[in-house]
Every structure is written in structure tokens, then in C-alpha cells.
Chain A
Amino acid sequence: EAQVTQNPRYLITVTGKKLTVTCSQNMNHEYMSWYRQDPGLGLRQIYYSMNVEVTDKGDVPEGYKVSRKEKRNFPLILESPSPNQTSLYFCASSFGAGGVNQPQHFGDGTRLSIL
């Protein structure tokens, strides 16, 4: 089954404790992206990757890091989490950057609470 898998689904942690949210896709997609969803703001892109070893900033990259060492994986790293990073996070992938014939496939989300 084609899917994007995120782990963990839920996490409560404390300020300053490094954490990683993993994302894996089994569709051989080149493009992967991370979004955060906040009430009233929709989804905002954090980082994206066009292919292995190619990453770039989205609209809200501050406080986040990513890596793309393998095509299927695109982990999101919070080196020193802060309460303003409490949010719902989504990973997505596609065969391109989401053009007409390349809709993005989304994971089920990771709800992070930073105390």
C-alpha cells in the first residue's frame, strides 16, 4: 500500500530536549516536504527536498533542521524545541513539487506539545 509514515504520532516533551520526527515513503517519490498546521493559519511549509542530498527552506524554517540521506526518508529535527513549536506536523511526498499530475501524498500527522 502506497503511504507516507510518520513517527511518532503524538509526543509531549520539554523545552530544549532534542527530538526527531521520522518520515518515510514507499512510493519512490523524489519530492518530500514538511508542513506545520496551526489553527487559522492552514499549513505552512517548513522545509522541502527535491531529491537525495537536496534540501531547501520553506516559509517557516527557523528552529528546524532536515536531512535527506536516502530517497525514502526525510526526518525533521528540532535541536532545541520551544513552546512556539507546539503544533501538528505533516510530511508529504510527490513525484515532483505537486504539479497537476503530481499531487502530494500526506502522512497522518504528528502532534507535538513542547512544555
Chain B
Amino acid sequence: AQSVTQLGSHVSVSEGALVLLRCNYSSSVPPYLFWYVQYPNQGLQLLLKYTSAATLVKGINGFEAEFKKSETSFHLTKPSAHMSDAAEYFCAVKIQGAQKLVFGQGTRLTINP
């Protein structure tokens, strides 16, 4: 069965520093990949999605993610963290033809002033 692993349940960076949130998936066929963000007391909001057209995907709020098939990874990055980026981030995978998203455990991002 496909799975998603997010390394690090909690990541803390300083304002202005690089943000790197890690996601690895297990799948024998190319999946669809997503990053969602959850702000306090809110539902999940789509950040970006992998379309297979390009390995580097740009999303909202300056985030981007790179699909690396050889590493089965889809890490999320942002060059310069902002206080408003503090939230929980979820990586999710959908296998083509399947009827659901499989989510990782989530990574809580804290931004230090």
C-alpha cells in the first residue's frame, strides 16, 4: 500500500531563513503529489500539486517543491521564512485510479523572530 512519510513532526526556523520540509512516498507507479497547509482552527488549503509536467512545482506564498523520482521525494521549500508561514503542513499522495488521498503525519512549522 502506498504511504507518505514526513521527516520531522516539528521544524523551527528563524524569520528570513530557508524552510525545508521533507516528504517521501512509497509507490510503484507515478503518483499525484500535493502539499497542504493548515492554519490554526482552519481546514486544509492546497499549497501546490505535482502535475508531471515539470519536476519543480511552484505554489502559493512563495513555496515550491521538487519531485525527485529516484529518491521518491517531494520536499517543500521556501527561500525566506515569514512569520505568517507558521502552520502545520501535510504532504499527500494519490495513486492514479485510486479514490483517496493518503496523508503524511504532518509537520508543524514554527518561525522564530
Q: Which residues of A contact B (CB under 8 A)?
A: 4, 31, 33, 35, 40-45, 48, 50, 56, 58-59, 90, 92, 97-100, 103-104, 106-109
Contact = CB atoms under 8 A, between A and B. Distances in A.
Interface of B: 4, 6, 9, 32, 34, 36, 41-46, 49-52, 90, 94, 96, 98-101, 103-106
Nearest to A56: B99
Given A42-B106, A100-B49, A33 B100 contact: yes
B52 A100 contact: yes
Contacts of A43: 44, 90, 101, 103
B100 A98 contact: yes
A66 to B, nearest CB: 14
Contact of B100 (A90, A97, A103): A97
A102 to B, nearest CB: 9
Instruction: Give the most central of B4, B6, B36, B101: most A CB within 10 Å.
Output: B101
A45 B90 contact: no
Contacts of B99: 31, 48, 50, 56, 97
Contacts of B50: 100
